[in-house]
């Protein structure tokens, strides 16, 4: 049997964007509350009964959250342009878990209704 497990978290951060539309607000430093859902999937380990220890997943998420929470995303090393797409990729790349288990990373902002999902498998 294949199981899917998800863990959600949020962080608050600021950024700027250079874009052709909504330019005035985007160029100024502004912030959002970002919500994230990390999904893993796989078979149960026969000994532990788990796909992954959720404590381990929460520990990895806490390390990534620390890199992002209350930071200016423009200055986060390895982020690139702070788009939703790059946030998904950044989070996926920084999670130190078995790559075959990581299924998706979703980032969304309730305040403006935007979301992005990076599907890895």
Strand order in the sheet with 30-43: 2-15, 30-43, 102-109, 114-119
Check pLDDT > 70 for residue 24: no
Residue ranges making up the domain that contains 95: 2-119
CATH, residue 83: 3.30.479.10
Percent of the chain with pLDDT over 70: 93
HEC readout, the chain: CEEEEEEEEEEEEEECCCCCCCHHHHHCCEEEEEEEEEEEEEECCCCCCCCCCHHHHHHHHHHHHHHHCCCEHHHCCCCCCCCHHHHHHHHHHHCCCCCCCEEEEEEEECCCCEEEEEECC
Q: Considering the entire predicted model, what is its pTM?
A: 0.93
Statement: residue 18 has pLDDT above 90: no
> pLDDT averaged over the chain?
94
Per-residue pLDDT averaged across 86-91, rounded? Answer: 98
Judged against a pLDDT cut of 70, whether residue 68 lies above it is answered with: yes
Q: Is the pLDDT of residue 27 over 80?
A: no
| Residue 11 pLDDT | 98
pLDDT value of position 1: 93
pLDDT class of 38 with cuts at 50, 70, 90: very high
Domain count, the chain: 1
């Amino acid at each position: 049997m294949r199981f899917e497990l998800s863990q959600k978290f949020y962080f608050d951060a600021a950024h700027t964007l250079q874009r052709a539309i909504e330019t005035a607000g985007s160029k100024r430093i502004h912030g959002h509350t970002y919500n994230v859902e990390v999904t893993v999937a796989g078979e149960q380990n026969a000994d532990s009964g788990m796909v992954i220890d959720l404590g381990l997943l929460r520990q990895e998420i806490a390390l990534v959250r620390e890199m992002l929470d209350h930071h200016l995303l423009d200055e986060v090393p390895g982020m690139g342009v702070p788009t939703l797409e790059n946030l998904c990729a950044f989070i996926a790349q920084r999670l130190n878990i078995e790559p075959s288990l990581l299924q998706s990373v979703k980032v969304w902002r309730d305040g403006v209704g935007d979301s992005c999902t990076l599907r890895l498998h």
